Amino acid sequence: MRHWVQDILFSRRGLIVCAAGLVVAKAARASLTPTPDQTAGPYYPHIRPQDIDMDLTRISGTDSQAAGQVIEVSGRVFSVKGHALSGAVVEIWQADTNGRYIDIKDKSVSAPRDQRFQGYGAVRAGADGAYRFRTIRPASYDTGFSKRTPHIHFRVKHQKLGELVTQMYFPGEAMNKQDAVYLALSGNLARDAATARLRPGNGPPRYTFDLVLD
Ligand SMILES: [Fe+2]
């Protein structure tokens, strides 16, 4: 969770350029590491499923639960100055346990799509910037060019700070180091900011993933 172990750095806004061209620190204003932008990929569902609530493991009106390991993903949405972004809209979309997306462009025939999996969800962050989803750990999948490590796509929209599109990775996942999109993240700070933290405890694995908009 970024707001308790956040790396401290000076933001670009924390620097001023004086008339002589020297860059000096204006003030020791701490800021959070922005969550890095990542591609939305080809499978953002422009045609939304009917059910878009925070529980992707069940589709409203049905009794069955999606296949796969149930997990919880939650966190808070912040500005780089550490202000909670109340009201931000947080969307996620991801592959099911067979590596399939709900989007109609996913025409993979390697595995059937799990019809019980919602595949997409959208919530509005609370007054403290908090959001939460219940979902399943996505499977890896083959793009035809490379194999993707398990990941969850995020899009966050805030009235004043605009939009962030990114991907969340799982800590300790060996495939991360072979994933071209993960490896495109520049440096450990960015990779850390794009990786969830596993919280200790019993029950379904609970991951924390904070989102910081620049
Ligand atoms: Fe993806």
pLDDT at 131 over 90: yes
**Contact indicator for 152, 73 with CB cutoff of 8 Å:** yes
As given in the structure block, the two tokens for residue 193 are 């900011």
Pick the range with the lowest mean pLDDT from 12-21, 24-33, 111-120, 174-183. 12-21
For strands 89-93 and 120-124, give the pairing: antiparallel
Residue of 175, 176, 208, 187 lying closest to 36 (CA atoms)? 187
Q: What is the mean pLDDT of residues 143-170?
A: 96
C-alpha distances (whole Å) from 74 to each of 1, 54, 210 are: 10, 10, 8
**Percent of the chain whose predicted confidence (pLDDT) is above 90:** 80
Between 20 and 43, residue with greater pLDDT: 43
**Contact indicator for 24, 51 with CB cutoff of 8 Å:** no
Q: What gap in Å lies between CA 101 and CA 68, rounded to an integer?
A: 14
What pLDDT does 30 receive? 61
CA of 96 to the centre of ligand 1 (A): 10
CA of 106 to the centre of ligand 1 (A): 11
What pLDDT does 17 receive? 34
Q: Domains of the chain, with CATH numbers?
A: 33-213 (2.60.130.10)
The pTM (predicted TM-score) of the whole model is 0.86
Helix (H, G, I), strand (E, B) or coil at 64: coil
What residues sit around ligand 1, an ion, with C-beta below 5 angstroms? 41
Segment holding 183, helix H or strand E: helix 180-183
As given in the structure block, the two tokens for residue 8 are 């401290």
What pLDDT does 29 receive? 53
As given in the structure block, the two tokens for residue 95 are 């592959």
What pLDDT does 107 receive? 85
CA of 214 to the centre of ligand 1 (A): 23
